[in-house]
Amino acid sequence: MSVRLIAFAMLFLAGTGAVQAAEIKVLSAGAVKAVIVNVGDAFEKDSGHKLSASFATVGVTRQKLAAEPADVVIMTDVAIDEAIRQGSVVAGTRNDIARAGVGVGVKEGAPRPDISTPEAFKQTLLSAKSLVYVDPAQGATSGIHFASVLQRLGIADAVKSKTILWPGGYAAEAVVKGQAEIVVHQISEILPVKGVTLVGPLPKDLQKITIYSAGIATKSEVPDAARAFISYLVSPPVKAKFAQAGLDYKE
């Protein structure tokens, strides 16, 4: 964490007013994990609060929100809006924190396949020995989208036998382990995995841009602390961290 970021955060947190130190339970989609983990220590040090964060697919995060204690919830904007309508996230607390795109990765040192156009990407997938993406049944945003891409390209059946459906977390780990040649996942969930190279984003016509938003859980017992953390996430220096992690996707 840079001195500039820490200094800004300290000034920002001071401006939020004094709040009693609290444990903030965060339920989050995995797409933003790298940034939340990266800035978490500085937030704890500067605010006196303690973060307890768990990461999963959006589908699993929804289930956890219904069953577990929570203070801050980070999911897609659509999922947060739905949670507000259902009464599990406080209305008026949604803040958009990240903008993600889906990308393709291969093992470090491997040739970079052509994914420049839908047709080129189709041929790359057909030629690949194996591929991995997150199981759509787990409620994974990128997995649900990529399954629809395979249908759109007309190759869902052709690649089925060589496809690994990852249960959650970083699907790129399958590439590192030699279980898959190609990974398709959120760019922000490919970049943190050592031993994997990001080839690039999906072709524009096949891309899905996802907004990730944070909100305060209705059942939060420390709403002031939760609000302070969300405000921290949308501060300019932390927004820069999201951009560095591939979470400020621009076409």
How does pLDDT run across 10-57, given as a tens digit for each residue? 445 544 445 578 999 999 999 999 999 999 999 999 999 999 999 999
Residue environment code for 87-125, b if the CB has 16+ CB neighbours within 10 A, otherwise e? ebbbeebbeebbbbbbbbbbbeeeeebebeebeebbbbb
Same-domain check for residues 187 and 64: no
The DSSP element (H or E) to which 132 belongs, if any, is: strand 131-134
Closest listed residue to residue 219, CA positions, set 52, 60, 73: 73
**Structural domain boundaries enclosing 189:** 102-206
- Residue pair 72/206 in contact (Cβ under 8 Å)? The answer is no
Closest listed residue to residue 69, CA positions, set 19, 22, 36, 26: 26
Tell whether the torsion through CA atoms of 202, 205, 208 and 211 is positive or negative.
positive
How does pLDDT run across 226-247, given as a tens digit for each residue? 999 999 999 999 999 999 999 9
Same-domain check for residues 133 and 195: yes
Return the pLDDT at 250. Answer: 76
- Residue pair 24/222 in contact (Cβ under 8 Å)? The answer is yes
Same-domain check for residues 95 and 184: no
Q: Counting Cβ atoms within 10 Å, is residue 67 exposed (0-12), middle (13-18) or buried (19+)?
A: exposed
Q: Assess if residue 112 is contained within a domain.
A: yes
Using CA atoms, how far apart are residues 223 and 116, in angstroms rounded to an integer? 46
Q: Assess if residue 193 is contained within a domain.
A: yes
> Given pLDDT bands bounded at 50, 70 and 90, which one contains residue 3?
very low
Closest listed residue to residue 30, CA positions, set 91, 98, 88, 89: 98
Q: How many domains does the chain have?
A: 2
Same-domain check for residues 16 and 138: no
Mapping DSSP to helix (H, G, I), strand (E, B) and coil, where does residue 156 land? helix
* pTM listed for this prediction: 0.84
Same-domain check for residues 106 and 182: yes
Q: Counting Cβ atoms within 10 Å, is residue 9 exposed (0-12), middle (13-18) or buried (19+)?
A: buried
Same-domain check for residues 131 and 170: yes
